[in-house]
Amino acid sequence: MDIPFYYRTLDWQKLVADYPPAPHFFDGVWSWPRERIEAMQTERMRAAVARAWDTPFYRRRWSAAGVHPGDIRTLSDLSRIPYYTVDDIRESIALSPPYGDYQGRPASAVANEPLRVFWSGGTTGEPRPTLYTQWDREVGAILTQRMYYLHGLRPGDVVLNNWAFSTHNGAWMYDHALHHWLGCLNITTSTGNVTPTEKQLMFASKYRAASILSWADHLVYMANLAKELGYDLKRDFAIRTLPTFGNPLPVAKAWDCPSYEAYGFHEVQVVSAECDAHAGLHVFEDAFIVEVVDVDTGEVLADGQTGNLVLTCLYKTGNQHIRYNIQDLCRIVSRERCACGGTHLRTDRFLGRSDTMVKLRGINVWPEACGKVVLKDDRAGGEWFSYAETVHTPRGDVDELTIMVEHRPGVGDSEALREHLEDRLKIEIGLRIRVQVVAPDALRPLTGLGTDRPKPKRFEDRRRKA
């Protein structure tokens, strides 16, 4: 009998040689001298640029900028390539729906090789699809496995995974990494909408979970709820480490155990992770090149300066990411050897967005997308304003987004309108967003309409800064 194609499409020996999983990674590449890391990056960058040239999206953009793959020979040459943003991806999808011309494989290739497709959250409008080859998924899982190993998880550990198993790749990747590459036993509860948080706590306690995987705010909430339910966090749980995406400090305090931060995003999965030194997030530089650019000019900034993160992915085959300006604010902390022994450069924690994105309960939300939802209702006027704030609750501080919307004259029951709009936002955005219905023209002082502002202000960040 012939071996099925999905077993024959991946060279497993090459995979683990090129991207060694833990602990081998930490015994070798992790502490290479900078010169050796950069030599590897240069070689992989040239190959990634060559693959990108075969993609209509890049050939179109680079040709317009007068750039050819042969021009990119050294790491310093990379800045000659124009970066792209999520707006360029949207344009690509509009030009070639439904997948866009930025994919490195057609969806039909699944007949001959394993492919997966996942989408961004869709909070900026239409969800953005990304096709992943089997190679892409396995390398991404290895990077994720490294992160969890760095954060203290080991083979044999029981892990509770309560990220949302949905069209986004996050929960699936964490499960893949821990099951296939780290040897952990996963309890896949998904979110509280699928498995009530009380039951999640029961699972974590009964099966002696070493860790719970979730966003930072929810981990704090779980600790406080556990106490309300009568659990003793030390006696009734075996939590040893809490990796998260978000500020780990309140998590560590709530559970009285180590907590670590990591960084990643939809298209490329895990990029960087914090070590025990807590002196920045180590970028997995065998898989990525990180630049920080000026928000306004796009010029590459010196280490220590804050700007937009621009990332080049070195490993992917299903699609390329060459100088993707993710518009997350970032700065490079150090390229020196860390106290942990690692030599891969370190960045600061997530510093916010250069646009108006708000991260709520682990999900990226754009106020503009919320504005579009509320204005679909004929009872709403044409103006809206939003603000993010930190709300104190008995179970911990949480970030919330409120959309203020003017109602039309004679609208009637504004409370019914508020409830309806909150329901629509929950359906279309996927999260509970607060709505405040206000009188016509009440938002003018906030939006600046009627003044000399070139465009109305739509968002204000009122959160307390750590």
Copy the structure tokens of residue 28. 């070798």
Which is nearest to 357 in space by CA: 318, 315, 317, 329?
329
Asked if residues 369 and 123 have their Cβ atoms less than 8 Å apart, the reply is yes
Give per-residue pLDDT as tens, 169-219: 999 999 999 999 999 999 999 988 899 999 999 999 999 999 999 988 789
Give per-residue pLDDT as tens, 16-35: 999 999 999 999 999 999 99
Average pLDDT over residues 109-133: 83
Residue 324 and residue 290: Cα distance in Å, rounded? 10
Please give the single-letter amino acid code of residue 360. L
Summary mean pLDDT of the chain: 91
Instruction: Tell the residue number behind the tokens 């309890």, with chain if given.
Output: 187
- What pTM, to 2 d.p., does this model score? 0.83
Asked if residues 95 and 312 have their Cβ atoms less than 8 Å apart, the reply is no
CA dihedral 27, 33, 38, 39 (to 10 degrees): -80
pLDDT range class, residue 7, cuts 50, 70, 90: low
Instruction: Tell the residue number behind the tokens 């987004």, with chain if given.
Output: 401
Asked if residues 267 and 102 have their Cβ atoms less than 8 Å apart, the reply is no
Residue 5 and residue 242: Cα distance in Å, rounded? 38
Average pLDDT over residues 336-348: 97
Give per-residue pLDDT as tens, 252-287: 999 999 999 999 988 999 999 999 999 999 999 999
Domains and CATH numbers, the chain: 20-137+263-347 (3.40.50.12780), 152-257 (3.40.50.980), 358-461 (3.30.300.30)
Q: Say if residue 82's pLDDT is above 80.
A: yes
Asked if residues 46 and 72 have their Cβ atoms less than 8 Å apart, the reply is yes
Asked if residues 136 and 10 have their Cβ atoms less than 8 Å apart, the reply is no
Burial classification of residue 6, based on how many CB atoms lie within 10 Å of its CB (0-12 exposed, 13-18 middle, 19 or more buried): exposed
Which is nearest to 195 in space by CA: 179, 214, 173?
214
Copy the structure tokens of residue 201. 């706590």
Flag the least confident range among 19-23, 90-94, 118-122, 256-260. 118-122
Average pLDDT over residues 121-125: 55
Write down the pLDDT at residue 466: 44
Copy the structure tokens of residue 185. 């036993």
Radius of gyration of the CA atoms of the chain, in A: 23
Give per-residue pLDDT as tens, 362-405: 777 888 889 889 988 989 987 899 999 988 888 788 889 999 99
Write down the pLDDT at residue 5: 63
Q: Are strands 259-265 and 242-244 parallel, antiparallel or unpaired?
A: parallel
